[in-house]
Amino acid sequence: MSLFPTASMGQSDTDSLSRQLEPVVITATRTIRKLSNVAVPVTVVPEKVIRQSGALRLNNILKEQTGLYITNSFGNGVQIQGLGPDYVLILVDGEPLVGRNGGVLDLNRVTVNNIRQIEIVKGPSSSLYGSEAMGGVINIITDASRSNGLYANLRYGSYNTVDANAGGSFSHKRFSLSAFVNRNSSSGYDFNKKDTGKTVMPFHSYTAQVKAEQGFGSIVKTGISLRYYNEKQQTLYSTDYGIAQGSPRIREYNIYPFIRFNFSPKVQSVFRGNFSQFESETMEYVKAIDTPYYNDFFQQRFNRIENQTDIKLLETNDLTLGAGYTRERLNTNRYSGIKHNTTEYIFIQDEHRFGDRAVLIGGLRYDNNAAYASRFSPKLAVRVKATEKLSFSASYGAGFKAPDFRQLYLNFTNNAAGGYTVYGASETSVAQLQQQFQAGILDSISAYGKMLKVLEPEYSRGVNIAGEYRFNNDISVKVNVFRNDIDNMIITRIVAIKSTGAYVYSYFNVNSAYTQGIETNLKWRINKNLSAEGGYQFLLTADKEELRQVKEGKTFGKKPGSLLSVQVPRKDYGGLMDRSKHMANIKLFYEQGAWFATLRGIYRSRWGVADMDGNLILNRDDEYAKGNLQLNVSGGRSFGKTIDVKAGIDNLTNVRDKRYMTDNPGISFYIAFNYRFFQKNNQ
């Protein structure tokens, strides 16, 4: 049992295999599999690790995983293998979350207090999950206990951060019910006392989730999961007209019904629904004159129905078939009118096992999107157990990312920031720019403005080759080499300059890029009380056209403090922005009776943040943010089966960067209490 468990004291039907010592995963193949039988790179973060780390939100626990980096633009997103947040699909219980801002789904919206397991699949996963899964998939599996119990916990930390949770579960015969509610709040913090407002303003949020399942005999089971999120934050800042203030709000609901048919031990079929809505609204006023200064409204609706049927053709062969229909609706004052899009898709996957020595998986998905051309996404993966200690795996996948609503339909002018305008590719054309030029609205049209055309999806091809060696039951090491090639990358470019001097932007398929590197993970159980884990990623990235220009000696830059142009050598080319060449982590876990303690270190080398000499690439030392090492510690004790107490210090090294790490306030402290009111197994 976890030292700091949730109310879960039993297991749901979908987790029946997890009673074994070896973890099981669902995300990699859409079916329950032992981790050792999965042929693609997968990381599993169990409930016990989440609890002992003292993490509050999803970004807190993901940043401690090898090869993952948490970005700080439009909220906290996540990179996988150097691919940005807009290429990573975030799921809750297998269903996608919606509500991206600038392509980023803010991980701060997801509490970890009711999470049973996090599964991280690295590399292209579009053959199973479609668009947005070019870089990988993160699936948050929440608690679905089949026990009777109630619990509550409270955590208080620096900056008046309060996190309170309550939940419980009930089961009787074939019926089960679980519920959870969370409140998170903070007074915020400030890096510059001279500025109006704070670096991070005060906020509070609520998360609630209810799950219910009912079985009918041995054939039919139905259920529903309801999730609700509400966030409110304060804003306060200076403008040319005086102090502006407001209270931005976020509201989100998710409804996930299902019905499962177990026709026979060899044939199972499940129908799932996803009915979600995300809404954000900001209205800010200038206090002195009580005049609206900024107004933003964004509402996204996502509806999907899907069937997945699993067929055991032979004892060594499993076939998965699926089909679905998705409809999206977007209503925002950033766009001209309400926008809709629909997608129909089918997928197939076949898994063949060759005894206990090898497994071969092939898959193919077809997406028919109303906004762009149809797309096939293949996958092929193999895992071979060479000896009892040594195994190898290799996988190839093609991924894609559809142009999102922002890239297609944005029609936004920011009068509060100089009056610049951004058009989605479907909202402007060469002819429209010419009309604005003739009317005197535009001063000039750039070369890109004369090349406007319909956007195509971004495509990727990803290869992962891995090996794992188990020295014994206590020591194992994994090594994974990866390469991702992305074509038709969608970028933003200036298409015109207004007569006021403000820029006009739009979106283009222009660039191709790659990310490649090597990732290693080591696990070592030192003795019955102490265990250690470590991970390291070496990453190289490049925009292929930029790299070609550098290699051919066609790229020039300026040295700091000089106006003289000099040729940029290959060794100075830094690749894609906001990527670190080196990232590493180390974790120590200690348990002795009712006590536990952890020490976790996270290292990140420098990363590119700006173009200082106007050549649009990274090539100077002053274009990087400094690398850093952060240390987190936690410890605690259980008192019987009822009370748990823990405390911790995050960012013990007090790493702060007022410009590039505004989401990191420096060293912070917390203490937490957990109390289980009663607990009675009802298996």
Express each pLDDT in 157-209 by its tens digit. 999 999 999 999 998 889 999 999 999 999 999 988 888 888 889 999 999 99
Q: What pLDDT digit, counting tens, does each position of 197-243 carry? A: 888 899 999 999 999 999 999 999 999 999 999 999 999 988 888 88
Residue 13's pLDDT is what? 38
Specify the pLDDT at position 7. 32
Nearest alpha carbon to residue 513 among 121, 84, 73, 101: 84
47: region left, alpha or beta (phi > 0 left; psi from -120 to 50 alpha): alpha
pLDDT tens digit sequence for 111-168: 998 898 999 999 889 899 988 898 999 999 988 666 788 999 999 999 999 999 999 9
Q: What is the largest CA-CA distance in the chain?
A: 80
* pLDDT tens-digit series, residues 609-624: 988 988 889 999 999 9
Local confidence band at 70 (pLDDT 50, 70, 90 cut-offs): very high
Q: What is the mean pLDDT of residues 346-368?
A: 94
Question: Does the pLDDT value for residue 15 go beyond 50?
Answer: no
Q: What is the mean pLDDT of residues 418-434?
A: 90
Q: Please state, in angstroms and as integers, the Cα–Cα distance from residue 375 to each residue in 125, 369, 400, 483, following that order.
A: 14, 8, 8, 21
pLDDT band at 335 (very low <50, low <70, confident <90, very high): confident
pLDDT of residue 145: 67
Per-residue pLDDT at 20 exceeds 50: no
Could you give the CA distance from residue 547 to residue 526 in angstroms, rounded to a whole number? 45
CA–CA distances in Å: residue 315 to residues 263, 353, 478: 17, 9, 29
Residue 17's pLDDT band, with cuts at 50, 70 and 90, is very low
What tens digit of pLDDT does each residue of 490-536 get? 888 889 999 999 999 999 887 799 999 999 999 999 999 999 999 99
Amino acid at position 121, single letter: V
Does residue 258 surpass a pLDDT of 50? Answer: yes
pLDDT band at 350 (very low <50, low <70, confident <90, very high): very high
Helix (H, G, I), strand (E, B) or coil at 3: coil
Rounded mean pLDDT, 26-34: 81
Q: Identify the pLDDT of residue 21.
A: 52
Dump pLDDT digits (tens) for 301-329: 999 999 999 999 999 999 999 999 999 99
Mean pLDDT across 59-75: 91
- pTM score, whole prediction: 0.91
- What's the pLDDT band for 655 if we cut at 50, 70, 90? very high
CA–CA gap between residue 290 and residue 672 (Å, rounded)? 42
How far is residue 643's CA from residue 177's CA, in Å, rounded to a whole number?
Answer: 24
Enclosing H/E stretch for 355: none
Contact between residue 205 and residue 113 where contact means Cβ atoms under 8 Å apart: no
Residue 1 has pLDDT above 60, yes or no: no
Mean pLDDT of the chain: 90
Domains in the chain, CATH or no CATH each: 13-680 (2.40.170.20)
Q: Is the pLDDT of residue 563 over 90?
A: no
Q: Kindly state the average pLDDT of the residues 50-58.
A: 91
Give me the pLDDT at residue 416, please.
Answer: 64
Of residues 3 and 517, the one with the higher pLDDT is 517
Which pLDDT score is estimated for 679?
58
